[in-house]
Amino acid sequence: MKMRFFWLLSTIIIVTSAIAAQAADPLSSWNDTASKKAIITFVEKVTIPGSPDYVPPAERIAVFDNDGTLWSEQPLYFQFYFAIDRVKELSANHPEWKTQHPFQAVLEGDMKALATSGKKGLVELIMATHAGMTTDEFADIVTDWVKTARHPALNRPYTSLVFQPMLELLAYLRAKFFKTYIVSGGGIEFMRPWTEAVYGIPPEQVVGSSIVTTFEMRDGKPVLVREPKVNFIDDKEGKPVGINSHIGRRPIAAFGNSDGDLQMLQWTMAGQGARLALLVHHTDGKREWAYDRESHIGRLDKALDEAQAKGWTVVDMKNDWKQIYPDR
């Protein structure tokens, strides 16, 4: 009897401890594979006082790409769907778009014709939908769109297509006094209206591409007007430039998923002391999308080679992540 009671008590203690340990796991959507270990090893190295790799909190800068790293990006960048939705909405005031490339292709849903419009067509589309209003007006338009728009294939809000394991990683780093930044090729003002609610990243920690804005007085009220002219492209070689301009410190950790992030990872890893470079490899065709070297969106080719050569962490989405999107 005494023995059985002891056994029962032991079992209760073991089970309770296991539950507590699991509840306390800040990366509970990550399987216990090499990627998770690499993250935790790095974070402990730079945060435990007395560690030879200790980094003071003010210098714990972590930079995250957005498209394909924090949320999905297939079959098209979500900002592109925003542009498409805007063209449809604005077309009532633009009857000429019915026969004008690339607007005609958008209105007819002809993605093949749209693809042939190339970079020039894309820029035209962006300018027609992202410029010609004040910054406050644009923020309202984005806020409304994020609330109501649905991904065409999955019929879910775009902001529900964020990666649960990455949300946990952001929270884990912030709990360890990291400052988490987005450094994305996407539009800086397209992201800022919702990144705080979705990722816990405030507007001043969002770096992205931008168009020219100019200060104007309208009816005695100062406004910033969005002009149809590219100001800065925060992609590839632009990412370290954007980091330097906005943050002015070299990050100690960088997270990306494509060749567009290669220079950001190189720039991060070239600093002194312990560093972490991580690539999200989209290997899960069932739960998300599987693509890499041949993809037009989020191509991962050169950066994958460099990651393998230099021993950077490569997340295998299919095997490293228990869950892709947050529970609804």
Binding site for a second copy (CB under 8 A): 58, 135, 179, 188-189, 192, 202-204, 206, 210, 213-215, 221-222, 224, 237-238, 240-241, 244-249, 263, 266-267, 270
Output 40 or 131, the one with its CB closest to a second copy: 131
Output 189 or 259, the one with its CB closest to a second copy: 189
Output 5 or 215, the one with its CB closest to a second copy: 215
Shortest distance, CB of residue 54 to a second copy, whole angstroms?
Answer: 19
Burial class (CB in 10 A: 0-12, 13-18, 19+), 82: buried
Output 23 or 58, the one with its CB closest to a second copy: 58
Shortest distance, CB of residue 313 to a second copy, whole angstroms?
Answer: 19
Shortest distance, CB of residue 259 to a second copy, whole angstroms?
Answer: 14
Shortest distance, CB of residue 79 to a second copy, whole angstroms?
Answer: 17
Output 10 or 244, the one with its CB closest to a second copy: 244
Shortest distance, CB of residue 128 to a second copy, whole angstroms?
Answer: 22
Output 51 or 244, the one with its CB closest to a second copy: 244
Shortest distance, CB of residue 155 to a second copy, whole angstroms?
Answer: 31
Burial class (CB in 10 A: 0-12, 13-18, 19+), 284: middle
Shortest distance, CB of residue 135 to a second copy, whole angstroms?
Answer: 6
Shortest distance, CB of residue 206 to a second copy, whole angstroms?
Answer: 7
Output 86 or 192, the one with its CB closest to a second copy: 192
What SS3 string covers the chain? CHHHHHHHHHHHHHHHHHHHHHHHCCCCCECCCHHHHHHHHHHHHHHCCCCCCCCCHHHCEEEECCECCCECCCCCCHHHHHHHHHHHHHHHHCHHHHHCCCHHHHHCCCHHHHHCCHHHHHHHHHHHHHCCCEHHHHHHHHHHHHHHCCCCCCCCCHHHCECHHHHHHHHHHHHCCCEEEEEEEEEHHHHHHHHHHHHCCCHHHEEEEEEEEEEEEECCEEEEEEEEEEEECCCCCHHHHHHHHHCCCCCCEEEECCHHHHHHHHHHHCCCCCCEEEEEECECCCCCCECCCCCCCCCCCHHHHHHHHHCCEEEEHHHHECCCCCCC
Output 241 or 274, the one with its CB closest to a second copy: 241
Q: Residue 221 CB: number of other CB atoms within 10 A?
A: 8
